[in-house]
């Protein structure tokens, strides 16, 4: 059996069989395995280009009208258009400046780590995250919502209060501290949030797994 998109999707959803899981992991960690056998594209390159161009033309403005002889009004309009363009440009600049700022302050980020062994590290604007093996997380710091499946280690760069998606459980994470968040089952009771300084309160078998996994 080969690795295809379908198997990979099932693997990430955690619904594949043990045999499939082994195959995917072998493939993921093997440097000389076959390339991914994605669903083949069954058309020519030229057809695809044509199709794309048709789509682009559909949203472009209609052909510009033929140039007419210049009248006196031309110069007046030229000035007015230039002024309008300037105003539009300024508006656009302002929009992008403030728009981008607000986006950067309120990012909604999704991460996933399909490795069965290794931790994935992510540096975001307001926090650093290490995502555990076979884990995925979605953090919307604007809405203050976090969704997690698996395990993660997080160090916020400012104090935050987040709610777990689909639950009423809220958690306050303080700047400068490191927290371990674990979620295995659905609902608030399957969630464990513990600061690194309370790590020794977790069962020793779990501590050993966590310190090994996150190298802390």
Partner 1 sequence: MIFNTFRLAAVLVCLLTLLGCKTKTEKKARYSFYILAKDGREYLIENDVLDQGNLTPEGNGVLLEGRNMDRDVIVKAGYYYHLDRKTALFSKSSIHDKKLKIQFNILLKDFSIENFNWLATDTLLLTGLNISGYNQTRFFLIDTKAMKVIRQGNMEIPKPAGKFTTLSIGLVDKQGEHLNIAYTYHIAKGVSDYITSDTMYVSALSYPEMKLLKTDKDVRSTYPGGINTIQSYSFIDGNNDSYFMTCPGIALGNRPEIPTGIFRIRSGASEIDKTYFFNISTSKINNHAYGMWPLGNGKVIVRSERKDLFKGLGDHYSTAHFEFYVLDLKSKDVTRLNLPLDKGTRRECVLVEGDTAYIAVNANKAGNFIWIYDIKTGSLKKGLQLGGDTDFILRMDKLN
- Which residues of this protein are in contact with partner 1, per CB under 8 A? 132, 134, 151, 174, 176-177, 182, 184, 188-195, 197-198, 200-206, 208-213
Is residue 37 within 8 A of residue 2, CB to CB? The reply is: yes
Q: Which is nearer to partner 1, 36 or 188 (CB)?
A: 188
CB of 131 to partner 1, least distance (A): 12
**How big is the chain by its Cα radius of gyration, in Å?**
26
C-alpha–C-alpha distance, residues 132 and 206, integer Å: 14
Q: Which is nearer to partner 1, 3 or 132 (CB)?
A: 132
Of 148, 152, 141, 151, the C-alpha closest to 187 is: 148
CB of 204 to partner 1, least distance (A): 6
Q: Which is nearer to partner 1, 135 or 141 (CB)?
A: 135
Question: In this structure, what DSSP letter does residue 69 have?
Answer: P
Q: Which is nearer to partner 1, 78 or 121 (CB)?
A: 121
Strand duo 160-164 + 135-140: pairing: unpaired
CB of 199 to partner 1, least distance (A): 9
């Amino acid at each position: 059996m080969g690795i295809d998109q379908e198997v990979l999707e099932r693997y990430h959803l955690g619904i594949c069989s043990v045999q499939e899981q082994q195959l995917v992991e072998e493939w993921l960690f093997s440097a000389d395995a076959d390339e991914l056998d994605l669903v083949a594209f069954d058309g020519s390159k030229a057809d695809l280009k044509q199709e794309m161009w048709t789509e682009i033309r559909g949203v472009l403005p209609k052909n510009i009208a033929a140039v007419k002889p210049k009248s006196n009004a031309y110069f007046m309009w030229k000035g007015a258009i230039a002024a309008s363009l300037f105003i539009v440009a300024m508006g656009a600049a302002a929009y992008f400046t403030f728009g981008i700022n607000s986006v950067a302050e309120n990012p909604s980020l999704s991460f996933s780590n399909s490795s069965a062994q290794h931790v994935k590290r992510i540096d975001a604007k307001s926090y650093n995250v290490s995502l555990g093996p076979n884990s995925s997380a979605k953090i919307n710091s604007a809405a203050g919502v976090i969704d997690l499946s698996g395990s993660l280690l997080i160090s916020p760069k400012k104090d935050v209060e987040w709610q777990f998606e689909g639950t009423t459980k809220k958690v306050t994470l303080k700047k400068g501290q490191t927290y371990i968040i674990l979620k295995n089952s659905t609902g608030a009771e399957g969630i464990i949030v513990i600061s690194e300084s309370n790590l020794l309160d977790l069962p020793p078998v779990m501590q050993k797994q966590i310190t090994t996994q996150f190298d802390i």
